[in-house]
Structure 1
Amino acid sequence: MITRFGLLTRKKGLSPEAFNAHWAQSHGPMAARFPGLRAYMQHAVTDKQQFGISHARGADWDLDGFSELHFDDRQAMLDAVSGEIFAPTLVDEGAFLEDVRLVACEKHKVVPMEFDGGPFIKRMTLLKRLPGVSPEQFRHEWLETHANFVRQWPNVLGYHQNIVVDRYHGSRTESAPYDAVPVDGIVEFWFRDKAAAAELYATDIVTETQEHAKVFLDTITPYFVETRTIV
């Protein structure tokens, strides 16, 4: 399975309300027709505060939404944006997007989210590795050491790691250079509410985890989001 995230910035002059209405009502049904699409979610940004994170925020990012599309593999993902069905979707982007950068990811469910019917909030976070830290080092520190820290956190409803394996900007089929899409991973974190999240971030284990982040992360850029399931 491959997960493609779109990192979306709304068109200048467009209100958040108009952006979200167009994304959900016009663009969503178009993208839902992609061949080979297994799932499609839209994550609308509701809060851009750093909220408990001691790291610097990434200067490259000021997002309004994340699209999330699932395909069986990378070839299926590329095929979906190579046919006739994709063409009107690309044209439609000009109506509500100023910029879209894309990352193809491997999803790792460190703490699987189980939707128990109770209230929850979701936060998505962009990670950029430190200069001098190789992609291989980043992968080891995040998928192994850091994940083991998070497994010890109390009252976490879910924690998924999406490690970037390819990047796109402009072209949807030709890889972009790292500097064009400077992100190495995307975190998905679920909490019961913001009060529970704030209480969690005051614990010693979270402090210890954030100390470990200094070993391999340059910037951490979180967003609280509201999710719409399209497919």
Structure 2
Amino acid sequence: MTDPTTTTLRMGLIRKQPGWTDEAFSRHWRERHGPLVARLPTLRAYRQNRVTDRLQRGIDFARGPWDFDGFSQLQFDAAAQADAAFNTGELAAEIRADERHFLGGLHIVTVEQTEVIAPPSPASSAGPAMLKRISTLRRPVAQSEEDFRREWKVHADHVRRMPGVAGYRQNVVVAREFEKGTPCGYAELPIDGIVELWFENTDTLNAAFASPEGQRTMAHAKTFLAEITAFVVEEFRVV
């Protein structure tokens, strides 16, 4: 088994403006905002993940208070490049103005992403799109950040044994902005990690968590997690 690869990403936790329909939000994000952000010269990759389902599906776990309409994932060569891209220049000002137009809420987290099981490539898939689930995680109050990260690495081995898991990424949160551009502490944005999981379909997901391996995985999750808040998403590659 090869060692998992690690990448630093900037993720947006997004809520649409009140009064906007899901269709209008999705169309504007993909057709207007996506191409606008794609013009950033130091941007290396950009994914939009539109939420289509908020059911927990397959897991018996407390759900947190978060209710997002989408998750953005952006990769730069360095964090300083991301800060400069979104905070200086005419393009950054145009992006901020567009965010105010169609977004009702935007939190930013910087994550260190570990690819535990490489997900299928949409470009090479001849069949229907895979089901992708993104979940936010929060550790118990009494648990340290170091203990959470250690146990999450152990958890990866449990997930590897589950049948039907087509892809799995762990995103450890290392920096937070409750309001974009203003760093904040853990108490203001208490999210410790973000999970990405891929399955063939809903039946495969349910079967994976109902299996003996899935039951052992969730039993371990309850030793180091207080909340799992799950969202099924539709992923769109912009860059």
Band of TM-score, shorter chain: over 0.9
Q: Does 1:222 align with 2:230?
A: yes
CA distance in 1 between partners of 2:41 and 2:180 (Å): 19
Aligned to 2:28, the other structure's residue is in SS state: helix
Work out which of the residue numbers 179, 184, 199 in structure 1 matches 2:207: 199
The number of residue pairs the alignment matches comes to: 228
| Equivalent in 197, 200, 207 of residue 189 of structure 1 | 197
Q: TM-score, normalised by structure 2?
A: 0.92
- Decide which moves more: 73-82 or 99-108: 73-82
* CA shift for structure 1 position 191: 0.4
Question: Which residue does 2:132 correspond to in 1?
Answer: 122
Matches within 5 A, 1:33-182: 33-59=39-65, 61-84=66-89, 85-115=91-121, 116-117=124-125, 118-119=127-128, 120-142=130-152, 144-172=153-181, 174-182=182-190
Secondary structure, counterpart of 1:151 in structure 2: helix
Distance, in Å, in 1 between the alignment partners of 2:159 and 2:133 is 15
Task: Please list, as runs of the form range in 1=range in 2, the aligned pairs for 1:3-14 lying within 5 A after superposition.
Answer: 3-14=9-20
Deviations 1:172-221 (CA, angstroms, capped at 9, x unpaired): 2x421212222111101000111111111110111111111111111100
Distance between the aligned counterparts of 1:127 and 1:46, measured in 2? 19
Q: How much has 1:25 moved relative to structure 2? A: 1.2
Using the alignment, how far apart are the partners of 2:179 and 2:39 within structure 1? 21
Is 2:135–2:196's contact at 8 Å kept on the other side of the alignment? yes
Q: TM-score, normalised by structure 1?
A: 0.95
Identity of aligned residues (%): 41
| Cα root mean square deviation, aligned | 1.2
What secondary structure is seen at the aligned counterpart in 1 of 2:43?
coil
Counterpart code for 2:72? S
Residue aligning to 2:31: 25
CA distance in 2: counterparts of 1:146 and 1:208, whole angstroms: 10
Q: For residues 209 and 72 of structure 1, what CA distance do their matches in structure 2 show? A: 34
TM-aligned CA distance change 1:215 to 1:27, over 3 Å: same
Gaps of 5+ in 2: 1-6
- Separation of aligned partners in 2, 1:73 and 1:185: 20
Q: Which residue of 1 aligns with 2:3?
A: none
Query: Structure 1 regions of 5+ residues with no counterpart?
Result: none
